[in-house]
Amino acid sequence: MSRKAFLMRIDPALWAELERAAAADLRSVNGEIEFLLREALRRRGSLARPVEALQKMPDDFLEGGREDAPPEERDGLP
């Protein structure tokens, strides 16, 4: 997987905390930042599912309505 490189300005105190957290988790600071960003996106529901998970779903997975739709909007889903 390729990575996007970018520059970031960060408060020195925050950097020190990231270094401590990364060391405690046996990660690099870069790895810790990426982990924290992914965790935050997952909590918001903004992180898309991996392509592999989508490929395993049947073609008619959402046919007839969404599972999380209100009952009156579902077409035959329990």
pTM of the full predicted structure? Answer: 0.56
CA distance 58 to 7: 41
Task: Write out pLDDT tens, residues 16-73.
Answer: 999 999 999 999 999 999 999 999 988 888 876 654 544 555 555 445 544 555 555 5
CA distance 75 to 49: 25
10 versus 1: the higher-pLDDT residue is 10
Residue 45: per-residue pLDDT:
86
Residue 54: per-residue pLDDT:
46
**For residues 47 and 38, is the Cβ–Cβ distance under 8 A?**
yes
φ, ψ dihedrals at 6, nearest 5°: -155, 155
Residue 55: per-residue pLDDT:
52
